Structures are given as structure tokens and as C-alpha cells.
Amino acid sequence: RDPNMNPKRLQRYLVAIEYVGTQFAGAQKQPAARTVVGVLEEAFQKFIGQPVSIYCSSRTDAGVHALSNVCHVDVERITERKPGEVLPPHDPLIVKRAVNHFLQQKNEGGDIMVIDVRCVPNDFHARYNALERTYFYRLVSGKDAVSSFDKDRVWQVPEELDLSSMKKACEILVGCHDFSSFRSAGCQAKSPVRTLEELSVSAISSSPFPEINNPSRGTSERIEDCGECFGIRKRNHNFLITARARSFLYHQVRLVVGVVKSVGSGELTVSDVERILKARSITAASPMAPASGLYLAHVKYDFFP
């Protein structure tokens, strides 16, 4: 039995979820809008038969995705047969399976799922106990239309991007700085100082599938107009930007990505990045990268590896 499981009393669960953010108005609950927390609370209510309140580690914006966002919820197991009697808590695996069942019933698109559940102490908070958050940003460079499989899940730009220049831009922004230039006007953080433990960019494959027209073949075998090339999509250049910190300012990652991309396209220089950082002005870093390419990848806690 999990040592954090509380027999015959309110049980707090830590719940990890994945979702495609395209059809959500954000993670935080809003009236008359489809949100991550709203959909999740509805599924929990169907499972346990009473309303719950869910608190997320990260309040992602509309259109932002999550490979793993984490939230906590308090659940009291009751039975209709004996009103007032409180039963021992559900096993985390039962919670995961049951909530996913109701999520799939409600959401025909299958754009949200519980991926892990743990019992935690009742004073544990998904947001305030988080030690670190990691975000990924997918950037596609090329004029060919983005793949149907990547629609609303990347930021496509027509310009060629220079990887070396983008790496230099990341080197300037990594570390502890006043990021006033990299937050939106609605930011409510008391201090603009944040420490970026990691900010990196790398070239990645555009597809998990191997190329049909294998590039290892000789040039004579890879003529563009040959019959075997028909129906094979030309691949754009794909980049992945990784940002890791204990916490971020409002829109910080998307504003950083916008500047890094602009350096890669030649619209800004590496020196411009230093100037923008030192300006400490909300309007200095623009434009902001769209939400579609942003993914919350991982939330780290001290008692989990």
C-alpha cells in the first residue's frame, strides 16, 4: 500500500495529464469555455459522484499543448448504499482508468488523457511544490505547407533559419536575468527575475518515419523527377527549442522563442538580443511566437525521479 494513502479520510492525488491544446481555451477553468480543468473536473465528478476542485501546476494558455501537466485533487470515497460512510481511498491505478473512461466518453476527439496518478500528502500542492518545469517549442522552417499531422502543433515560418545563430542567442538568455522584456503586460509576477537553467535549440527530424527515398542512395538514383519520388512529401527543416526553469513569467517562453527565431532568420542579430534583454521593456521583444508550437513537457518534484 502507498504510504501516502490515507485510510478512511480525504485523499489527495497527484494527476499527470497530456492534452492537445488546440480545442481548449486554456488549462484554467473559465465560464462558458472548454478548458482542461473544466473537462477533468467533470470526469472526476462522474467517477466519484460529487464535485471536486482541481489545481494545475502550470496554467497553459489556449492552444498550448502538454506532454505532461500535473494537477492535484482531493477525493473522498463514498457509497450510495450507506450514506455518510467514507470508504478507503481508491488505488491510483483505478483512478487513472476510471477518469480516462469518462474523458473518452465526453471527448470524442480524444485530446486529453490521464497518464499517471500518485497518492500524495494532503499538504502537497501541484503548483507550489514543483521544482522545475520544462517546455518544448517546435519550429518548422520552409515554404512547403506543413504536414496535416502537424497542423496547429508547430510554428511554421517561410524563412531559412540559421541554427548556429540561434544557438548563440540562447547562450545570451540562459542563466539568471531580469526578463522584463520577455513578459506580457498581463504578467502578475512580483519579480521579473528568473533563472533559465536551460535554453537550447537543436535540429530534429520532421517525421518519426524513415525517408522512403533513402538519402544514402547514389545521386543518379535520387533524381527529383523520377517515378519513385512521386507522392513523397518534401521535408521542411525542423527545430526544437527547450526551456527549463523553476518558473516562468507570463508568455516568457513564447517571447524568447520569437526573438531566437528572428535571430535565425536574420531579422535580429545576436547583439540585438543583448539589447532587448537590457532594455527591460515589455514592448522590446516582439513578435511573440504563437501558442501552437509550445508544449509543457515535464514538471519535476523532489520525491519523483
Predicted pLDDT at 78: 77
Predicted pLDDT at 2: 60
Amino acid sitting at position 79:
T
As a whole number, mean pLDDT of residues 272-297 equals 92
244 vs 32: which has the higher pLDDT: 244
- Of residues 242, 248, 249, the one with CA closest to residue 294: 242
Average pLDDT score, the chain: 89
124 vs 84: which has the higher pLDDT: 124
Cell of 227: 517515378
Is-same-fold flag (11-120; 132-300)?
yes
Pairing state between β 11-19 and 112-120:
antiparallel
pTM: 0.89
- Of residues 131, 275, 119, 148, the one with CA closest to residue 197: 131
Residues facing residue 155 across a β-bridge:
139
Assess whether pLDDT exceeds 80 at residue 84.
no
Catalytic residue flag (residue 302): no
Rounded Cα distance, 159 and 161, in Å: 6
Fold adopted by 11-120: Alpha-Beta Plaits (3.30.70)
Annotated binding site for substrate: 135
As a whole number, mean pLDDT of residues 167-185 equals 95
> HSE-up of 108 (CA within 13 Å, CB side)?
0
The answer to which of 79-88, 176-185, 198-207 has the lowest mean pLDDT is 79-88
Q: Could you tell me the pLDDT band of residue 194, with boundaries at 50, 70 and 90?
A: very high
From the candidates 2, 61, 111, 152, which is the catalytic residue? Answer: 61
Assess whether pLDDT exceeds 60 at residue 217.
no
Rounded to the nearest angstrom, the gap between the alpha carbon of residue 231 and the centroid of all alpha carbons in its chain is: 33
- Structural domain spans, the chain: 11-120, 132-300
Q: Is the dihedral of CA 54, 58, 61, 62 positive or negative?
A: negative
Assess whether pLDDT exceeds 60 at residue 304.
no
CATH 3.40.50.880 fits 132-300, yes or no: no
